[in-house]
Amino acid sequence: MRICVTAAKTILAHSGKARRSKYERANFLRLDFSKAGKVTFYAEFPKSMELKGRKLGEWPELSLPIARENAHAMASGGLRAESVRAVVELYEQDLSAKVSRQKLSEGSYKTYLCRTAQVRQAFGDRDVFGEVGYQQIIAVLDNWIATKSNNHALELFAELRRIWKFAAPQFCNGRNVAASVPDDYVSSRVQRPTPTRLFTDIESIARLWMNVAACTSVHQKNAVRFMILSGVRPVNVCNLRWEYVSANLDEIVYPAGVIGMRGAMKTQKEFRLPVTAAMKTILQEQAAWRDAAVTCNQDYVFLQPRKPSEPFAKRSLDKLVKTHSPEDAVKGIRHDGTIKGRAGAFNTMCRKFLKSNIIAQMRARGYSRSDTREISQLCLHHSDKSADPMAEHYDFSDEILQEEMALKRQAFEAHEISILAQVALQRKRLG
């Protein structure tokens, strides 16, 4: 190589040109010689291969054999010239395929699409994915930090990394520039949101129970009341199907996730929910409405009032809670980093109240503090892997003794009785 550099310097000095190049067709390698003796290696491919060429490095830092090897690796690996936006579309198609394979829920898919849309907008039409450098990634992140909310910037950074991890092996010859960004680049510049410490009390829950009686639709009233009594997540009010409800209205079983089918619950595990007296009344009212309706969705328990062919909307449930909760329903201290409760009442305050109220009610019945926490954990379908991580595979005592269901039924009945007692007390005061 030194002889070639000397020869190139002599030829360029004689010809008066600034540079001269040599192309090795067999190795897809172009060597660029400058009159100053600088040698730059480029990977260059025939048009028929439809591959994007790129700079490999400079001699002597990069030796000629290694440059040839890298060029061949790019040719075999298929370095592509797709734009960032085209790659994002391919990533979205992969997410869609996961939904069809029941590996990703529809709700999560829509959330990811909102984030990928922001990543797509951060790059231009002509930005080639394989040519995006570290500084361009940093510029995008800095813009998000300056213009987005703290939590949104963190989410977009995580999504950008997932896109690059997905596409780098195919479109960037394995070079994942996003992985080079420090893990705390965004989190060290914005305040990470902390879980809200806001909650509610039994007086506010009782007022909410009473206020939803004014709803124009039985679906609205019963959906909110079912969430108050059961403490399930809002999505599990909306996705409750009649097939989950036993024939005698004694039990609700949210199915577990199996191969080819997602489970109804967030944990993808089966959840058996005992039906209390008030819950049974709600189910009977819903069944009576369903049977009297001319046309409606026969699969879901709670339906949209204006469009009974569709299941109840989670966003509508959130709006109902915000509208009908009393002004002082949310207790605790609000701050700028509050995730939920900053705009008033929120759905999961019913779930928070159930856990707190069950602990209080079961303590009043003589259970120990540790027992009440375990019972509340069962009622909220929270898993505890730390105690016995293999329990779900080896412990079938509940299937034999049915102790868990008996405890849950006692807890839910105590929870219901306390709420209805408070409702009766408030009605007496108002009357």
State which amino acid sits at residue 275: V
Domains and CATH numbers, the chain: 2-77 (3.30.160.390), 84-180 (1.10.150), 202-384+394-430 (1.10.443.10)
The answer on pLDDT for 98 being more than 60 is yes
Q: Which of 209, 212, 420, 203 is nearest to 320 (CA)?
A: 212
Q: State residue 399's pLDDT score.
A: 59
pLDDT on residue 161 = 96
Asked if 67 contacts 53 with a C-beta cutoff of 8 angstroms, the reply is no
Rounded CA gap, 42 and 140, in Å?
Answer: 28
Query: Looking at the predicted structure, is the pLDDT value of residue 380 above 50?
Result: yes
Q: Which of 57-66, 87-96, 315-324, 417-426 has the lowest mean pLDDT?
A: 57-66
Judged against a pLDDT cut of 70, whether residue 426 lies above it is answered with yes
Segment (H or E) for 271: strand 271-274
In Å, how far from its chain's centre is CA 254? 21
pLDDT for 400 equals 60
| Lowest model confidence (mean pLDDT) among 114-118, 156-160, 179-183, 403-407 | 403-407
Considering only residues 210 and 332, tell me which one the structure prediction assigns the higher pLDDT.
210
The encoded tokens of residue 240 equal: 């409750």
What pLDDT score does 79 carry?
47
Could you tell me if 377 and 427 are in contact, meaning their C-beta atoms sit under 8 angstroms apart? no
pLDDT at residue 386 greater than cutoff 70: no
Token output for 298? 């026969």
285 pLDDT tier (thresholds 50, 70, 90): very high
Question: How many angstroms separate the CA atoms of 15 and 4, rounded?
Answer: 16
pLDDT above 70: percentage of residues in the chain: 88
Q: What is the token pair recorded at 229?
A: 């009594």
At 390, is the secondary structure helix, strand, or coil? coil
